[in-house]
Structure 1
Amino acid sequence: MLQSTPLIQAAEEGAHIVNELPVHPAWFGIGAFLLFIAMFLATWAFSPRSTMPEATDHHHADPAALPADEAHAVAAYEAKRGH
């Protein structure tokens, strides 16, 4: 009974602790949104999409022009695909 006495007294007195936020709550959401947009733009800026060649079937029109190791890799890949 002695351990709960301060809790009972605080409840009877109507003790109310208020932790005020430093800004309006909506600004937390706006700040988070802007942070995620900044992270998205940083990710997009470092993506290799701008340096990759177009993915077409006619990228290497002449397979004989490929170096030997790439020609072997292409042949092994096409053998797995069944072409």
Structure 2
Amino acid sequence: MLQSSALIQAAEEGAHIVNELPMEAHWFGIIAFLTFIGLFVITWTFSPRSTLPEATGHHADPAALPADEAHAVAQYESKRSR
């Protein structure tokens, strides 16, 4: 009851609290959007999607690869040829 009487009293006195923003409200959304797009691009640059290093002179012969690497390359090639 004490809180409601304080609210009624404040309303009767015409108390008005103004919290001004440092910039217009739509700029907060624009800045947030650009920040998230920037973070997405940064994350995307660390994603090595569908990149398989080309065979160089070091691994020109697939038989010279270790068994686990040869299996990984064979799986990749089989998915790529579909």
Which band: TM-score by shorter chain? 0.5 to 0.7
SS, match of residue 49 in structure 1: coil
- TM-score when scaled to structure 1? 0.57
Distance 1:70 1:35 in 2: 39
Match of 1:53 in 2: 52
TM-score by length of 2: 0.58
Question: Which amino acid is 1:34 matched to?
Answer: L
> What displacement does 1:26 show?
0.9
- The share of aligned pairs that are identical, in percent, is 68
1:24 maps to 2:15: no
Alpha-carbon spacing, 1:32–1:67, altered in 2? closer, same or farther (3 Å): same
Map 1:1-83; keep pairs closer than 5 Å: 3=2, 4-49=4-49, 52-53=51-52, 65=63, 67-69=66-68
Residue 48 of structure 1 aligns to a residue in which SS? coil
Q: Structure 2 vs 1, CA of residues 70 and 31 (structure 1 numbering), >3 Å: closer, same or farther?
A: closer
Amino acid aligned to 1:46 = F
- Greater helix percent: which structure? 2
CA deviation map 1:50-81 (0-9, x unaligned):
7x218xxxxxxxx8x2534556x67xx9xxxx
Question: Which stretches of structure 1, 4 residues or more, deviate above 3 A after TM superposition?
Answer: 66-71
Aligned residue-pair number:
64
SS at match of 1:9: helix
